Structure 1
Amino acid sequence: MSRRDRVLAAGYSAAAALLVAGPLLGPGYLLLRDAVSTPRSYPTDSALGLGDAAPRAVPQDALLAVLSPIVDGGLIVKAILVVALWAAAYGAAVLARELLRASIGAQLVAATVALWNPYVAERLLQGHWSLLTGYAALPWTVLAAYRLRTAAQHETSRSASAWAALAVSLAAAGLTPTGALLAGCAALTLARVRQLPATLALWVAASAPWLAATALSGAGSEPSDPTGIAAFAARAEPGLGTLGSLAGLGGIWNADAVPDSRTTPLAAIGSIALLAIVALGVRAVATGNDDPDSRHVRRVLLLLAAIAVLFPALGATPWGMQALEWLVAHVPGAGLLRDTQKYVAMAMPAYALCAAAGCGVLARRLSAAPQPAADQPAVTHRAVTSTVATVFVALLVLPLYDLAWGVGGAVRAVHYPDGWQRVAERIDDSADVAVLPGGMFRKFRYSGAAPVLDPAPRMLPSDVLQTGELPVRGRTVSGEGARASDVEALLLHGGSASDLARLGVGWVLVERTTPGPLGESATTLAQLEPTYHDADLALYRVPGVIEQRGPTTLQRTLASAAHSLWGAMLVVGPLAVLGLYARSRTAVRRRK
């Protein structure tokens, strides 16, 4: 494969990623549903995963707490998201090149499948930027596992480079627990038996932040609310049914977090086009070329894709929901499985390979007619392949036209009022912060029509108490924040300041422009000391706060060590890959 083709694949992926993320390129912050970026974050106990709630935002919050004093936190999140979108597309192109020896046209089809699909659109609208990092790591994890399988035992440099690449991929995926599970599943199913212990050790190291936080905080030791299973079950889209929606890489539980095109017949048209393109290449992916390692990897990916589609489809059936409800009610940590549609991401590598192979299959069929000149077939085949690739890209992109430019402008940068910074400057001790109105989601005048997670926990230098309760499909899924629930109930019932102080609350922040329950909180606020107010925010100090027993020094040290291990993998891994690659290139030149 020529250097020109490599540059073309990387450039095409970059252009597509920028087309999707365009509205985020200007100044401002990502604030949409579950996505909250802020100018600066702080290394609170919650950022380490040691708060009351389950450590779902670990280690991403800690990473932002470390980097945002140096680089603006909003810029970091936007950069990670754009790089993730690029890496997903380019990784799929490289995967097609290495496992199929695909032409450049077929590689671009694979890149399009990986980036331009309903899964990416829906997770962007849901605000799952860190999950998309795990999604983007999947093709690179597969590549690293394949290279490990093909590296001969005496090829020390190549083997070491593959191990380093696998460590980087797992660490990147480990930005969120679900991403770590996705990449870990791919790596462990593709590794040779003798490589399993080392692969498992790398996965544990990459997952150390949330594994340690779960063990140390105790939040993961309690079963989850079974109500979440039905609330987060995969959803059928127009004309497709649940299985068809999932097979088309859609079907997220939140009907509001979908592009407009997926609420019309275009959803069926786009899914049929995608599945037809994928179906063309299934046989070639399963049986093609004589490399047994490549064939094994491709077949495993096909099996994982089938499971990734069938598992959430079964989870949306009545008996499937009953089984999952029993699981989350009796098995600690099983709550990770409640949003089953997230795991459809595992189908992406196989879909990308099948689409690339399908491009080649159709091109060969169309160019199979006898040609008049001896050198004409090759020229004709290249032209036909380019034409087929162009048609495939159009069939993938046009039905989902509104993924462009931030999913129709919904994914955009917003600007916080200056009052947030002034409030953060006035919180001068480590006492916890309670917030009003009740609940975790907000609607601000500057954030758009969609509800957003309260930015206070990431905006303020002290731990902000959150109940973890999620309003989903007209029902409420219980969270793990027991003390936060007590504090919220106290405020809404107009409890005394002394009771609030006994619960360890040193500050109360009122977000004045968002709807939500306030109850009788005015009675409590009248007993507190006002320290700041403007049109958007009001901050009160609670007198005589009694410090609650939080994480011990040992727990914080262990959690910090787990994050440091993960960070080391993320930083040292790429340096090792580059160093080993340069070393191997030098050795090749010397042999010549």
Structure 2
Amino acid sequence: MSRRRWGKAWPWVMALLVCAPMLAGGYVLSYDMVFVPRLDIARSDVWGLGSATPRAVPSDAVVALANLVVPGWLLQKVVLVGSLVAAGAGAMRMLERFGLGAQVAGTTWYVWNPYVAERLVIGHWPLLVAYAALPWLVVACLQVRAGEGVRWWRWVVPLAATALSPASGVIGAVLALSVCGWRRCGRVVVVAVAVNLPWIVAGLAHAGTGRSDPAGVAAFALRPEAGLGRLGAALSLGGIWNADVVPDSRSLVTATVFCVVLWVVMVVGAAAAWRGGPAREPVRALAPAAVVGLVVALLGAYVPGLLEWVVEFVPGGGLLRDGARYLALLAPLQAILVAAGLTVLAGRLRAGFARWSVLGVAILLPIAVMPDLAWGAGGRLQAVSYPAEWEQAREAIADSDATGDLLVLPFSAFRAPAWNDGRVVLDPAGRYFPRSSVVNDDLVVSGKVVAGEDERARAVASALASEDPAAALRAEGIGLVVVEEDAFGADELDTVRAGLEPVFSGDQLTVYEVPPTRP
């Protein structure tokens, strides 16, 4: 295999090294990553028309449409492998102005970094799709910036790919604006608004309740990693709020040393770009977006009061709560600086063997210091199958004549079912069954409750605590109740069950109809 062909194969090698155990039959269910056999396209919440804040708009709608022709298990594998391959291939394209060794090394850092590892484990797959689209967007927007003729789809398609969720849509728009520059951004701004309209419109429909609990600022603040403090964590593309999804290798001294070496290489690359050369224009174009990403990521940690005011009083301000998401804006710039720095350092070595040895080490070092991204994030991500009872319960719900929405109990957002090997996941029942559902959007972080934004969810919680839960649930428009018998708290629902009519009973699930209100 020639060197160029080997370079093109490298993104596939990395993607398969990460995703191999996820390719087994079944679904990978981890925190917010929930795929089901078929997401019902007729559900109002899929389109952001439910009572909950539309955080999964339009990603749920895209999945529901895709499920018309592609089963959920296959769609998830295509999304996961495809995102990593597309991220690597895009980085290779973005860095092709550099020599092959530096190009591959920069690509490795773009794919194999804490941001990708942490967002993969926490299940933010729309963010990973957007991340994969960023280098392709950079390539096209650099051509727009230079005044070159570029086919419209080369920048429209990656820009649309970033718009699967509100936060990723903002990331794509900021990056496109930064790279195109103020003078040539007109068309791009119009298209950026257009592709983000689904969640913008859905958000405006919830504008009255679009404010968030300010307690979430502290809960979601960027955390120190690798012994480098918060700023060091951000500059190494880490620092996610949930410590449980951070690779164990990030606590080792090797991670600290690697980050210092990485920054030295980037500084060399920045100096080379300052003097001119192939990195100069990309660095100038990407620097504003990187600054925005870094500032937003650090707001909750260093200026919490300001961010608390924003999320409490500005509709949609909660988009900034998990600021570490916006570190994606640093990644293209860092990949270019790594490639530029290695080009300079390798160029000072006269012997070809020495030069390629340095580049080889640079290519493999990110993998060596964070090996627990490999093989399903060190075994954290494994495919499992939904129990047979779930499909039986789905059929019972589909056959029910009861009107109203679905409620899943116990009324909590996350589960750790034994059939998922005890791994924490957002309750899949909210998407699995063919009815719009009301879910509890309160979030417990380190023992503290961050209040949700769904007023109807709060009303349902009050109904469950009332003297006649069945009548109160019917008044709230609930027609069916599913109890997950293996979930924590299921044995405390006797009062609620007393007024309901069972239509399906199993070891793990029980489906009830809420009887109509008697006159």
TM normalised by structure 1 equals 0.83
1:305 aligns with 2:290: yes
Aligned equivalents of 2:443 and 2:375: distance in 1?
29
Question: Which residue of structure 2 aligns with residue 195 of structure 1?
Answer: 184
Aligned residues of 1:270 and 1:400 also touching (Cα < 8 A) = no
Question: Which residue of structure 1 aligns with residue 33 of structure 2?
Answer: 35
Aligned residues of 1:273 and 1:396 also touching (Cα < 8 A) = no
Aligned equivalents of 2:138 and 2:436: distance in 1?
38
Report how far residue 280 of structure 1 moved. Answer: 2.6
Report how far residue 295 of structure 1 moved. Answer: 3.1
Q: How many residues align?
A: 514
Question: Which residue of structure 2 aligns with residue 356 of structure 1?
Answer: 339
CA spacing shift, 1:285–1:14, aligned 2, 3 Å? farther
**Structural mapping, 1:373-384, within 5 Å:** 380-381=351-352, 383-384=353-354
> SS state of the match for residue 471, structure 1?
strand
Report how far residue 504 of structure 1 moved. Answer: 0.6
Aligned equivalents of 1:516 and 1:269: distance in 2?
45
Work out which of the residue numbers 373, 383, 397 in structure 2 matches 1:427.
Answer: 397
Question: Which residue of structure 2 aligns with residue 240 of structure 1?
Answer: 228
CA spacing shift, 1:129–1:507, aligned 2, 3 Å? same
Corresponding letter in the other structure for 2:289: L
Corresponding letter in the other structure for 1:508: V
Aligned equivalents of 1:62 and 1:463: distance in 2?
13
Unaligned regions of 5+ residues in structure 1, if any?
Answer: 153-157, 368-379, 547-592
Question: Which residue of structure 2 aligns with residue 18 of structure 1?
Answer: 16
> SS state of the match for residue 29, structure 2?
strand
Work out which of the residue numbers 156, 163, 166 in structure 2 matches 1:177.
Answer: 166
Work out which of the residue numbers 442, 447, 469 in structure 1 matches 2:415.
Answer: 442
1:543 aligns with 2:479: no
Residue range with higher mean Cα deviation, 189-198 or 106-115: 189-198
Report how far residue 65 of structure 1 moved. Answer: 1.1
Work out which of the residue numbers 464, 471, 481 in structure 2 matches 1:508.
Answer: 481
Aligned equivalents of 2:178 and 2:165: distance in 1?
20
**Structural mapping, 1:221-240, within 5 Å:** 222-240=210-228
CA spacing shift, 1:219–1:419, aligned 2, 3 Å? farther
Measured against aligned partners, the alpha-carbon deviations of 1:133-179 in whole angstroms (never above 9, x if no partner) come to 11111111111101222344xxxxx43x1x21111001111112211
1:141 aligns with 2:137: yes
> SS state of the match for residue 511, structure 2?
strand
Aligned equivalents of 2:155 and 2:68: distance in 1?
30
> SS state of the match for residue 52, structure 2?
coil
**Structural mapping, 1:36-435, within 5 Å:** 36-43=34-41, 44-97=43-96, 101-152=97-148, 158-159=149-150, 161=151, 163-216=152-205, 218-219=206-207, 222-289=210-277, 295-317=280-302, 320-367=303-350, 380-381=351-352, 383-428=353-398, 431-435=404-408
CA spacing shift, 1:201–1:191, aligned 2, 3 Å? same
Report how far residue 493 of structure 1 moved. Answer: 4.5
TM normalised by structure 2 equals 0.94
Report how far residue 485 of structure 1 moved. Answer: 2.0
Aligned residues of 1:223 and 1:334 also touching (Cα < 8 A) = yes
CA spacing shift, 1:244–1:124, aligned 2, 3 Å? same
Report how far residue 248 of structure 1 moved. Answer: 1.1
CA spacing shift, 1:518–1:492, aligned 2, 3 Å? farther
> SS state of the match for residue 420, structure 2?
coil
CA spacing shift, 1:517–1:333, aligned 2, 3 Å? farther
Report how far residue 404 of structure 1 moved. Answer: 0.5
Report how far residue 310 of structure 1 moved. Answer: 4.1
Aligned residues of 1:224 and 1:334 also touching (Cα < 8 A) = yes
- Which segments of structure 1 move beyond 6 Å, counting only runs of 4 or more? none
Aligned equivalents of 1:170 and 1:221: distance in 2?
28
Question: Which residue of structure 2 aligns with residue 555 of structure 1?
Answer: none
CA spacing shift, 1:219–1:52, aligned 2, 3 Å? farther
Query: Cα RMSD between the aligned structures?
Result: 2.0
Measured against aligned partners, the alpha-carbon deviations of 1:326-357 in whole angstroms (never above 9, x if no partner) come to 11111111100000111111111011111111
Aligned equivalents of 2:185 and 2:33: distance in 1?
35
Corresponding letter in the other structure for 1:128: H
Aligned equivalents of 1:480 and 1:518: distance in 2?
27
CA spacing shift, 1:221–1:490, aligned 2, 3 Å? closer
Aligned residues of 1:431 and 1:505 also touching (Cα < 8 A) = yes
Question: Which residue of structure 2 aligns with residue 483 of structure 1?
Answer: 456
Aligned residues of 1:305 and 1:347 also touching (Cα < 8 A) = yes
> SS state of the match for residue 418, structure 2?
coil
Question: Which residue of structure 2 aligns with residue 7 of structure 1?
Answer: 5
Report how far residue 182 of structure 1 moved. Answer: 0.9
Report how far residue 386 of structure 1 moved. Answer: 2.2
Report how far residue 473 of structure 1 moved. Answer: 2.0
Aligned residues of 2:299 and 2:323 also touching (Cα < 8 A) = no
CA spacing shift, 1:192–1:230, aligned 2, 3 Å? closer
Report how far residue 518 of structure 1 moved. Answer: 6.0
Aligned residues of 2:207 and 2:315 also touching (Cα < 8 A) = no
> SS state of the match for residue 530, structure 1?
strand
> SS state of the match for residue 47, structure 1?
helix
Report how far residue 113 of structure 1 moved. Answer: 0.6
Identity across aligned pairs (percent)?
40
Aligned equivalents of 2:507 and 2:309: distance in 1?
47
Aligned residues of 2:464 and 2:472 also touching (Cα < 8 A) = no
Aligned residues of 1:234 and 1:313 also touching (Cα < 8 A) = yes
Residue range with higher mean Cα deviation, 332-341 or 173-182: 173-182
Aligned residues of 1:220 and 1:333 also touching (Cα < 8 A) = no
Report how far residue 247 of structure 1 moved. Answer: 1.0
Aligned residues of 1:439 and 1:516 also touching (Cα < 8 A) = no
Question: Which residue of structure 2 aligns with residue 582 of structure 1?
Answer: none
CA spacing shift, 1:351–1:31, aligned 2, 3 Å? same
CA spacing shift, 1:494–1:538, aligned 2, 3 Å? farther
